[in-house]
Amino acid sequence: MATELNHIIIWCNDQPATAAFFAGVLGRPAPRTFAHFHVVDMDNGVSLDFMEKHGTVSPQHYAFLIDEEDFDTAFARISAAGLDYWADPACTRRGEINHNDGGRGLYFQDPNRHLLEIITRPYGAR
């Protein structure tokens, strides 16, 4: 049997807003409701299940592999929303896009300060 990631729970302070943020930036269909989750479905069968948490949410890192055209579209959404972005996970290269492994990538934060990454090439692709 193959082992695959099926879903991941993402803690947040506002389920509808956070799920809509992810879906909007990544160009995904509107979130759906399943039990007490707001769910964003990805193309590879993995779902992002947003769970409400009262109090402080510990920031995590989530990386999304997208194609060049989707990168342009996502970058336009990030820019239009006035979001800060960085070329590196330490957030020292503000306003830059990286070109790691011959692709493009950047980091930005969601409303809960999770560090999101979009890349057009998987690491080690070169």
Q: Is residue 42 part of a domain?
A: yes
Amino acid at 115: L
Indicate if the pLDDT at residue 124 is higher than 90: no
CA distance 61 to 23: 16
At 4 the pLDDT is 92
Q: Is residue 84 part of a domain?
A: yes
Q: Is residue 124 part of a domain?
A: no
Instruction: State the DSSP H helix or E strand holding residue 22, giving kind and residue range, or none if neither.
Output: helix 15-26
Number of domains in the chain: 1
pLDDT confidence bin for 102, thresholds 50/70/90: very high
CA distance 126 to 95: 25
CATH of the domain at 48: 3.10.180.10
Say if residues 106 and 85 touch (Cβ distance below 8 Å): yes
Q: Is residue 76 part of a domain?
A: yes
pLDDT confidence bin for 32, thresholds 50/70/90: very high
Q: Is residue 91 part of a domain?
A: yes
Q: Is residue 49 part of a domain?
A: yes
Q: Is residue 112 part of a domain?
A: yes
Q: What is the pLDDT of residues 44-67, one digit of tens each?
A: 999 999 999 999 999 999 999 999
CA distance 32 to 77: 21
Indicate if the pLDDT at residue 1 is higher than 80: no
Indicate if the pLDDT at residue 126 is higher than 90: no
Q: What is the pLDDT of residues 61-99, one digit of tens each?
A: 999 999 999 999 999 999 999 999 999 999 999 999 999
Q: Is residue 2 part of a domain?
A: no
Q: What are phi and psi of 27, to 5 degrees?
A: 70, 35
**DSSP assigned state of 122:** -
